[in-house]
Structure 1
Amino acid sequence: MQMDQIDTFLDLIETRSFNRTAERMGLTQSTVSARLVALEQAVGARLFTRSRAGAQLTTEGLKFEPHARLLRQEWTMARRAVLASGTAAMTLRIGVQNDLAPAHLGALVADFRALLPQAALYIEPDYSTQMCADLVTGALDFALLFTPKPQPDLYFETLAELPYRLISTTAETLASLAPETYVCANFSPAFEAAHRQLLPHLSATPLSVGQSSAVALLLAQMGGAGYVLETQARSLVAAGGYQMVADAPVIRQPVYAAMHLRNRTGTTHKRLTQAARRRMTPGAR
């Protein structure tokens, strides 16, 4: 049994198509078939059946799936364990939602280092979908994200709800805001849905971005209005040139701690979760 066979098997579970898996993995369809045959021979059971509806897991395939996921994660972690990490007792790879990085990354990393001085930390700002995928494969150990992607191998815990405020270079109220100068924030599906419900007339504007820092940069260059994290909004207003749009609703974005299901009761992951919750919750420290 080889890991490329496991990877192919797990991709087939997602695609239900030998052709689609071949495209996604940059292989020929015959190579995908050969890998599956080799894996079936190794485990001694047929894992998929083919039909016009696509590839379907057999009963044996369903039983093998959780073991295949664990094998892939263990292999990733084993490869990481032998990499050089200086004198550190362990290496932790932590993902942080891109939009949290400018305002919170420094403080979070300081908290984590104080909490785990024996660990070498690798920090990677990213988007929720990729972080969930990396947690499944073992490429990440822990993540702070906006959008949980339900998977059988992942565990999510709500940490806080971060407030976003609408700021403007010109408008004091929603009535005086020009839609053509509005930068529509699209930080997550949850944020987008709340924005559409609260401000439907501003949800189809011609410019949309996915980070507070990008909103701020565009406003600095072009003027207009847009939602940014409340901490950033207050800093920008205090520096001058911006004002809070007084009657605009505050939109709150949930933040989640995410980890592999097998780590949810681990001491290290519990301590990381608690530290992140304290940092994300105003007044909790």
Structure 2
Amino acid sequence: MDTELLKTFLEVSRTRHFGRAAEALYLTQSAVSFRIRQLENQLGVNLFTRHRNNIRLTAAGEKLLPYAETLMNTWQAARKEVAHTSRHNEFSIGASASLWECMLNGWLGRLYQSQEPQNGLQFEARIAQRQSLVKQLHERQLDLLITTEAPKMDEFSSQLLGYFTLALYCASPSTMKEALNYLRLEWGPDFQQNEVGLIAADEVPVLTTSSAELARQQLHALNGCTWLPTRWAKEKGGLHTVADSATLSRPLYAIWLQNSDKHTLIKDLLKIDVLEE
């Protein structure tokens, strides 16, 4: 069905006047009448009763009205979305909140700076738990995953981006672990397996979160400690390493589908150092 016919039908139903509808659509009155007749012929019903200046919708016209409005709204949305896609190459990157806050935010800025204006890349920074992002990657709803764990599925390709250091931080200097409450910041299932040997066996976290920024802000109020990337913690300032704690080295991986149609783009983007000093 020609959307111009529906557009004309909606304008006539709004103005209840062929002449005013013609003015609004920048058409002649005869063109408006012709379009309405075309639509009526396609549907096999009369849509308007015509009595000189008294134009009204028939019962069939009343039934068509909400469908016509929905179809036109959908068509306009589709046109907008298609035009938007044609202007931009969309690329989605997924990671946990902590990774975005501590290291990927700066990388995203460098990605934009490295782009030529004519390329028009539009990035989506997606925040979710790792298992959700892996599912999205598998279903082609995500282009690239940045995570601390290597992929466990054969259909994924990966690249080791480097390592970063975690240390146990608190808000006060020279404080021992036993004097602090533990705030668990989620760094992945494999980290939690090692976490048992890093804190007291009976330690129950007073807070569990995926946000490094949230955990950092709660350290003083909760008299707590949490594992944070050393470089990020130093940039934030006001944090102190727990006196009787160690440091940990964590890997960072980029993961994508082996048969991704954006494979070349992914390799180009990963040339921009994620863990740049």
Alpha-carbon distance, 1:265 to partner: 8.9
Cα distance change of structure 1 residues 108 and 258 upon mapping to structure 2, 3 Å threshold = same
Per-residue CA deviation, residues 18-54 of structure 1 (Å, 9 max, x unaligned), is: xxxxxxxxxxxxxxxxxxxxxxxxxxxxxxxxxxxxx
Pair 1:125-2:122 in alignment = no
Highest Rg: 1 or 2? 2
- Counterparts of 2:203 and 2:257 in 1: how far apart (Å)? 35
Matching of residues 186-205 of structure 1 within 5 Å: 186-201=186-201, 203-205=203-205
Cα distance change of structure 1 residues 100 and 84 upon mapping to structure 2, 3 Å threshold = farther
Cα distance change of structure 1 residues 135 and 116 upon mapping to structure 2, 3 Å threshold = farther
List structure 1 runs of 4+ shifted beyond 6 angstroms: none
Does the aligned pair in 1 maintain the 2:94–2:144 contact within 8 Å?
yes
Q: TM-score scaled by structure 2?
A: 0.60
- Counterparts of 1:86 and 1:155 in 2: how far apart (Å)? 26
Name the residue aligned to 2:214: 214
Cα distance change of structure 1 residues 214 and 259 upon mapping to structure 2, 3 Å threshold = same
Aligned residues: 195
Name the residue aligned to 2:147: 145
Name the residue aligned to 2:157: 155
Name the residue aligned to 1:279: 274
Does the aligned pair in 1 maintain the 2:96–2:210 contact within 8 Å?
no
Cα distance change of structure 1 residues 208 and 96 upon mapping to structure 2, 3 Å threshold = closer
Paired-residue identity, %: 15
What is the root-mean-square deviation of aligned Cα atoms in Å?
2.8
Name the residue aligned to 1:34: none
Name the residue aligned to 2:75: none
- Counterparts of 2:208 and 2:258 in 1: how far apart (Å)? 35
Q: SS state of the match for residue 91, structure 2?
A: strand
Per-residue CA deviation, residues 131-189 of structure 1 (Å, 9 max, x unaligned), is: 111111111111212234522322222212221121123462436x325x222333211
Name the residue aligned to 2:32: none
- Amino acid in structure 2 at the alignment position of 1:193: Q
Cα distance change of structure 1 residues 174 and 93 upon mapping to structure 2, 3 Å threshold = same
Name the residue aligned to 1:90: 89
**Residue ranges of structure 1 left out of the alignment (5+ in a row):** 1-78
- Amino acid in structure 2 at the alignment position of 1:95: G
- Counterparts of 1:188 and 1:116 in 2: how far apart (Å)? 31
Cα distance change of structure 1 residues 98 and 83 upon mapping to structure 2, 3 Å threshold = farther
Pair 1:259-2:260 in alignment = no
- Counterparts of 1:124 and 1:141 in 2: how far apart (Å)? 10
Cα distance change of structure 1 residues 262 and 115 upon mapping to structure 2, 3 Å threshold = farther
Q: TM-score scaled by structure 1?
A: 0.59
Higher helix content, 1 or 2: 1
Alpha-carbon distance, 1:270 to partner: 0.8
Cα distance change of structure 1 residues 83 and 146 upon mapping to structure 2, 3 Å threshold = farther
Name the residue aligned to 1:112: 111
Cα distance change of structure 1 residues 84 and 134 upon mapping to structure 2, 3 Å threshold = farther
